[in-house]
Amino acid sequence: MASSSRFSHPTWLHHVRILGDAVEWYFPNASALETNCTEPFARMLNKLTIMSDFAFFAEKLTSRTPDLCPKGVFDAELSEQIKNADLFADPTSEMARAAKAGLLLFNDDLDGAHVIVQSPEIPINNFWHAIIHRREGDFSNARYWWNRTKHHSAMDEIFDIVIHRVPDFEYIDELRQSQQWEPFALNDFCERAAKTGEWEKELREVQRLEMKILLEWCAARAK
């Protein structure tokens, strides 16, 4: 990664790659061994190295609390690094692409994320699509995509985490009453905040947890 970026790889990432190089040097014919345990171990290290890139981006981006409606990309260079990275063993899989869209969205690269989630139209892409339009301030279009998303399995975990980690305010009260995730109500609260600033700090934390859990949901299912 370029040294001019806001973020650089930590030492542990280099250690993972050094370990992989050591295995290859010590077992130069590992790929030809069908019965030795070295080959699956080397494959595991390779997968770990790839996934460590995702973990690196996720750790840095999910620790920030993005604006509800950002005015531009947080770090343009970082967006290019995410777009060019193979974050999982099969970077073309639907969940790997959805995870990449989530990283871009955390980096406030709404256009970059939008390109990914437009196709195919599957529930996880619809979920990201709705968040993208909400963050664009296009609240009516966001409602359309929430209707397309319907109830997503990640919503149960989002609900549970948000009501236990975010201090009480009006939206949390609505969640407690309904006992389920309420994306349409969140959309309405964000629309109100865009006009008045009401509950903006609390809503930003709700949004951060929503995107973080959805990102982790994608990563856990990516190949």
What integer pLDDT is reported at residue 53 of this predicted model?
87
Residues 28-57: tens digit of each pLDDT: 444 443 444 455 544 544 544 445 789 999
| Cis peptide preceding 66, ω within 30 of 0 | no
Parse the chain into domains and list their residue ranges: 62-221
What integer pLDDT is reported at residue 23 of this predicted model?
41
% of the chain exceeding 70 in pLDDT: 77
Which of left, alpha, beta for 179 (phi over 0: left; psi -120 to 50: alpha)? Answer: left
Residues 157-171: tens digit of each pLDDT: 999 999 999 999 999
Q: How confident is the model at residue 21 (pLDDT cuts 50, 70, 90)?
A: very low
What integer pLDDT is reported at residue 31 of this predicted model?
42
What integer pLDDT is reported at residue 223 of this predicted model?
78
DSSP per residue, 72-99:
S-S-HHHHHHHHH---SSSTTSHHHHHH
- pLDDT reading at 95 higher than 70: yes
